Amino acid sequence: MSVTTAPTGGISLQGNRLPRFAPYVVVVGAVALGALVTMLLGLSWVAAPVLAVIVVDIALPLWSRLVEGRRAAANRGVTCLVWTALGCTLVPLVWVLAEVVIKGAPGINAHLLTHDGTPYFDPKTLVTTAGGGAFHALVGTLMVTLCAVIISVPVGLMTAVYLVEYARGSWLARGVTLMVDVMTGIPSIVAGLFAVALFTLADPSLRMGIMGSVALSLLMIPTVVRSAEEMMRLVPNDLREAAYALGVPKWRTVLKVVLRTSLGGIITGVMLAVSRVIGETAPLLVAIGSIDETNWNPFSGRMETLPVFIMDNYTQGATTPDGYKWAWSGALLLIAIVMVLNLIARIIGKIFAPKTGR
């Protein structure tokens, strides 16, 4: 840490540096200080980490300024801020996950996964108990989302193909792009109301699972179009020309070269869209309502879905003894489904990704 004088006329490449353990010293000191101040002033425990972070963000750049100079201090300061931002992002995420697992995991059992919400009569004890199953909601969520994917993926993909491969900047393409952007901003409840209005033109009391799927696909399509468009634009023009030069017609080039090459990215985009809509509550509540029985048929009658199941149980939590527990378990199931779907999509994407290795 001593200043080395450069030989006269030479250039000095040396400068003072903080010791390598400096950041750790500051962090440990800041944590201790934060804890001490919190205890002395009798603040809530939340104050301790917040104080510690603030102290690190100020102390480390200050120390660096005194020893290392301005540039190094700026570097330390920005590094501290980036780490702080990372923490601010991660804390709620981990917190939510932990909360859901801690409160939801105890409720997950075979009964929950195999029974629906209908009250059942135990012939041994002669007692009728509330349903306590989420099977009907699980089935409903999977069926409704599956139908939404079946509707929105072809529509979204074909729109993207039109925009990227055929439109060539026509007024129609600009209109479609604008509409897609507008659709991205549709509040989900509006999508639900639209689906209801569409299907109840003939029969006002009509309720079926596919209505929810239509509402969800309205929310999915813009995401699918956008991501598929981006992915297809990334396919180099060289590949299209290579296919044309082999006498391959345009539609086959689009199908087998452009879509095939961008498939991995498109699947990821579809998964993002699914993750976005699978937790939607409002449109499903409006469009397909809620029910206690298991209904596999999306074309007839109401269906239960996990978000609505969570909401029902939570609102009844005060009266039903296990309401809160089931709500948290439903939340955990929902997160688990999204995670499993994401994993599957990643594996499929990996299989179809362009191979570059030797």
Partner 1 sequence: MAKSIDVSDVNIYYGDFLAVQGVNMSIRAGAVTAFIGPSGCGKSTFLRSLNRMHEVIPGARVEGKIVVDGQDLYGPGIDPVAVRRTVGMVFQRPNPFPTMSIYDNVLAGSRLNAKKIKKADADEIVERSLRGANLWQEVKDRLGKPGMGLSGGQQQRLCIARAIAVQPEILLMDEPCSALDPISTSAVEDLIHQLKDDYTIVIVTHNMQQAARVSDDTGFFNLKATGEPGHLVEFNPTKKMFANPDDPATEAYISGRFG
**Is position 174 an interface residue for partner 1 (rule: CB under 8 A)?**
no
Q: Which is nearer to partner 1, 7 or 236 (CB)?
A: 236
**Is position 36 an interface residue for partner 1 (rule: CB under 8 A)?**
no
**Is position 354 an interface residue for partner 1 (rule: CB under 8 A)?**
yes
Closest approach, Cβ 245 to partner 1, in A, equals 4
Closest approach, Cβ 268 to partner 1, in A, equals 16
Contact 192, 216 (CB under 8 A): no
Site for partner 1 in 52-111 (CB under 8 A): none
Largest CA distance in the chain: 100
**Is position 260 an interface residue for partner 1 (rule: CB under 8 A)?**
yes
Paired with 128 in beta bridges are 121
DSSP symbols for 291-304? -SS----TTSB---
Site for partner 1 in 199-258 (CB under 8 A): 236, 238-249, 252-253, 256-257
> Three-class SS of residue 355?
coil
Q: Which is nearer to partner 1, 98 or 255 (CB)?
A: 255
Closest approach, Cβ 258 to partner 1, in A, equals 11
Calculate the alpha carbon distances from 162 to 206, 221, 240, 248 in Å: 35, 14, 15, 18
Q: Where are the alpha helices (DSSP H) in the chain?
A: 22-41, 47-67, 70-104, 110-114, 135-161, 171-184, 188-199, 209-233, 237-245, 250-253, 259-261, 263-278, 282-288, 306-315, 323-352
**Is position 348 an interface residue for partner 1 (rule: CB under 8 A)?**
no
Q: Which is nearer to partner 1, 111 or 174 (CB)?
A: 174
Site for partner 1 in 311-330 (CB under 8 A): none
Q: Which is nearer to partner 1, 207 or 240 (CB)?
A: 240
Closest approach, Cβ 273 to partner 1, in A, equals 23
Using CB under 8 A, pick the residue from 168, 204, 299, 318 that binds partner 1.
Answer: 168
270/222 Cα distance (integer angstroms): 10
Closest approach, Cβ 254 to partner 1, in A, equals 11
**Is position 186 an interface residue for partner 1 (rule: CB under 8 A)?**
no
How big is the CA angle at 248 (ends 243 and 249), to the nearest 5 degrees?
120
b/e per residue 275-284 (b: at least 16 CB within 10 A): bebbbbbbbb
Contact 96, 106 (CB under 8 A): no
Closest approach, Cβ 167 to partner 1, in A, equals 10
Strands 120-122 and 127-129: antiparallel
Closest approach, Cβ 317 to partner 1, in A, equals 51
Q: Which is nearer to partner 1, 69 or 354 (CB)?
A: 354
> Three-class SS of residue 129?
strand
Closest approach, Cβ 170 to partner 1, in A, equals 10
Residues that bind partner 1 (CB under 8 A): 168, 236, 238-249, 252-253, 256-257, 260-261, 352, 354-358
